Structure 1
Amino acid sequence: MGTGEGCADPRGLERRRAGAGDADVPVAQRAPLTTWYVLFAMTYLATSTIVVFDSETPVAGRMTATGFLALNAVWFLVYGRRLVERHPDDWRGFIYAAGSLATFASAVWFSGSATFALFGLVPQLYMVLPLSWAFWPMALFVLTPSILTLISGQSPALQLALAVLIIVFSHAFGWAITRIAEQNEQRGALLDQIESLTLEAERARMSAEIHDTLAQGFTSIITLLQAQQPNVELALRTARENLREARALVAATAPSPLDGSSLEDAVRRLVSASEVESSFRVIGDPAALPTSVEVVLLRTAQEALHNVRKHSGAKTVAVVLRFDPAGVSLEVRDDGRGFGDAPEGFGLRGMRARLEQVGGRLTLGGAPGASVLVEVPL
């Protein structure tokens, strides 16, 4: 039988939080997937070519092994690719690994040269499973050629020490790539946050300038013209029309996430779009809030719901927006795995930074599940 070795994990290079339904993942974040798909295609093609021209294997064995490699490729296209692009990080990754192992092992049984498919299969495991879960399936894939060789009564071509070295290298490489990908994700989130804050600041500046110049100017014109009502009806009507246009322009430049609606309506839309079973309620009488406070609360709700979908493994999430005389609070609670002892990530640090700008505070809780509570005094 042939020897084999694998290389691992590009998973984070493809991933970002893609956010709700992955539709918000930037093209620059999704683009590396194409590179990996090309690598997988080249691996399948090269391995099949090696198998077909393996003169030491009977023709029937070569054709059968090539057929199983083709089945393995189809299994990835039909099922594995969907997991790579949606990255659910759950038990479905093991289903893909089991099907891939079955076709791979069958191909290796008929031709040891099929072992070279590991160059594409091992990275796939790290793309459909979390890093800590992928180790054992990866080790089994690497050891499969040696196991089958022993079953067939031959001496293993891949010695145990070399197999262990390959396993350790593959997982270490997977860990390193994952760390790099996480840092890239954090940088991307930071750039998004900077862009968002810059846009909101520009909107606020434009609104203030329009209010302080055009709107107030037209109001002054109307006041003056009302004092000289005769023969100025046309000028008065024109000024009023321009005032309406100015006010409409001010409204149009309000912060985009709120989209001209109330904070509670904007949060309700976020909750209803969540991929996790969600509920939302408002406690107290909704009060008018400064735009800066509304934006911070809405951004916090977006980040918390994103973390629930991506990290918690929760089945349900409840969001409560509370108004009282002292201030306003927003709580996002889920039934997932909780925060544990893991250090705060970039998203939570970003929440704290935004809340500090409006004098608010962030409290994390859980057991069971996880709770994110933000409070802003008024």
Structure 2
Amino acid sequence: MEQHQSLITWYVLFAITQATSLVLILIDDNTLADRLSAAGLLCLNGVWFLLYGRKLVKRGVDDWRGLVYAAGSLATFAPAVWFSGNATFALFGLVPQVYMVLSVARAFVPMVLFVFTPQILTWLAGTVPALPWPAALLIIGFSQAFGWAIGRMSDQSRQRAELLDQIEALTIEAERARWAGEIHDTLAQGFTSIITLLQGAQPDVELALRTARENLREARALVASNAPSPLDGSSLEDALRRLVSGVSLPSTFRVIGDPVPLATSVEVVLLRTAQEALANVARHSDASRVDVVMRFDEDGTSLEVRDDGRGFGEAPEGFGLRGMRARLEQVGGTLSLSSDEGASVLVEVPL
């Protein structure tokens, strides 16, 4: 987008210089035939840019095609100056074009030819050049510096475009990871709970139905990009209590200390951590019970999920635990694991 806007600015400059040159040619005191010839050639020069030069400027190429464009542009510019010296004004648009289709080194010779063409033609015609020779040399030096500046701006614009592409790719990747984590933490865990309940032939089918309804609301919340549905209209403690009550194992939930308001991001992390930990208990621990304790103190908030199962063992951390750590890092929290008489997942978030 930035490069497109920059090119539009250059196109406007080229159009203005061409239009001004045409006006100066038409008000010249030469014969009508000379004025029309010069104007026609300058119009042909503009058509050459639209049909060929504009593509090179847009692509930023630097090869023989730039030399072809410069030669064609000079072939229409030079006779236009022969018929009317006022066509020299077109140099303000033509010289930048040369530097936009060629590197600074390659553009030097074509640029010098463009600048010296009016001087040479007026000298051959036996008239005084409209531009003094010292001024022509000054224009050459200025044009070379101008070309260097164009090259630097072009390189910087290209680097910014590449950086924006990289940022966009990283953003897309991060969004994919976020959605993967959300789905893993909500839908996958909820459906695992349903399967566990049904496989155990638990008589209380209402528990499975409630879990299914919770995950349906969660799916809708994900699509709408809202806060996690278990928190909608309730406190974090209530949401955790409902979550623990939906576990197929005997379970307890306690709150120690005086609850304090937490940021929504912290509440989401604590809730997701509890979901992941309870899902791991149901799938992997072979535990007979699970206890969840939430503590509030002066230093911060902690949440511990402890079971009496077989512990973590030597298995590497899976996607769920890595997702926990990633979420906790976003709110400055830490995750601690232990396998002392079962398994314990302890999450601590400072206030």
Interval containing the TM-score (normalised by the shorter chain): 0.5 to 0.7
2:113 to 126, 136, 140: 140
What is residue 9 of structure 2 aligned with on the other side? Answer: 35
What is residue 53 of structure 1 aligned with on the other side? Answer: 27
What is residue 349 of structure 2 aligned with on the other side? Answer: none
Q: Is 1:228 paired with 2:213?
A: no
2:193 corresponds to which letter in structure 1?
Answer: S
Q: Is 1:77 paired with 2:44?
A: no
C-alpha distance in 2 between matches for 1:216 and 1:195: 30
Closer, same or farther: CA 147–67 of 1 in aligned 2, 3 Å: same
What is residue 357 of structure 1 aligned with on the other side? Answer: none
C-alpha distance in 2 between matches for 1:136 and 1:143: 11
What is residue 151 of structure 2 aligned with on the other side? Answer: 178
C-alpha distance in 2 between matches for 1:70 and 1:194: 43
Closer, same or farther: CA 189–82 of 1 in aligned 2, 3 Å: closer
**Match of 1:228, SS?**
coil
Contact 2:25 2:38 in 1 (8 A): yes
User: How much does 1:193 deviate?
Assistant: 2.4
Q: Is 1:205 paired with 2:178?
A: yes
Structure 1 segment 349-368 matched on structure 2, within 5 A: none
Contact 2:99 2:150 in 1 (8 A): no
C-alpha distance in 2 between matches for 1:172 and 1:74: 28
Structure 1 segment 125-136 matched on structure 2, within 5 A: 125-136=98-109
Structure with more relative contact order (C-alpha pairs < 8 Å, separation 6 or more): 1
Deviations 1:207-234 (A, max 9, x none): 12321332123112202211217896xx
Q: Is 1:169 paired with 2:171?
A: no
Structure 1 segment 281-296 matched on structure 2, within 5 A: none
Contact 2:100 2:150 in 1 (8 A): no
C-alpha distance in 2 between matches for 1:184 and 1:77: 23
1:180 corresponds to which letter in structure 2?
Answer: M
C-alpha distance in 2 between matches for 1:78 and 1:221: 66
User: How much does 1:38 deviate?
Assistant: 1.7
Deviations 1:176-230 (A, max 9, x none): 2321332233234334323432332232133123213321231122022112178
Mark the structure with the bigger radius of gyration: 2
User: How much does 1:138 deviate?
Assistant: 0.8
Structure 1 segment 40-119 matched on structure 2, within 5 A: 40-55=14-29, 57-119=30-92
C-alpha distance in 1 between matches for 2:65 and 2:22: 27
Q: Is 1:214 paired with 2:190?
A: no
**Match of 2:63, SS?**
coil
Structure 1 segment 294-305 matched on structure 2, within 5 A: none
Contact 2:48 2:73 in 1 (8 A): yes
C-alpha distance in 1 between matches for 2:204 and 2:182: 32
C-alpha distance in 1 between matches for 2:7 and 2:183: 45
Contact 2:28 2:35 in 1 (8 A): yes
C-alpha distance in 2 between matches for 1:186 and 1:98: 30
**Match of 2:129, SS?**
coil
1:113 corresponds to which letter in structure 2?
Answer: N
User: How much does 1:100 deviate?
Assistant: 0.7
**Match of 1:194, SS?**
helix
Deviations 1:124-167 (A, max 9, x none): 11122222211110111000011112222334343332211111
C-alpha distance in 1 between matches for 2:77 and 2:157: 33
Report how many aligned residue pairs link the two structures: 218
C-alpha distance in 2 between matches for 1:151 and 1:38: 34
1:228 corresponds to which letter in structure 2?
Answer: A
What is residue 323 of structure 1 aligned with on the other side? Answer: none
% identical equivalent positions: 65
1:196 corresponds to which letter in structure 2?
Answer: A
User: How much does 1:47 deviate?
Assistant: 0.7
Closer, same or farther: CA 192–118 of 1 in aligned 2, 3 Å: same
2:25 corresponds to which letter in structure 1?
Answer: V
Closer, same or farther: CA 179–87 of 1 in aligned 2, 3 Å: closer
**Match of 1:31, SS?**
helix
1:224 corresponds to which letter in structure 2?
Answer: L
What is residue 125 of structure 2 aligned with on the other side? Answer: 152
2:183 corresponds to which letter in structure 1?
Answer: I
In structure 1, stretches of 5+ residues that fail to align are 1-26, 250-378
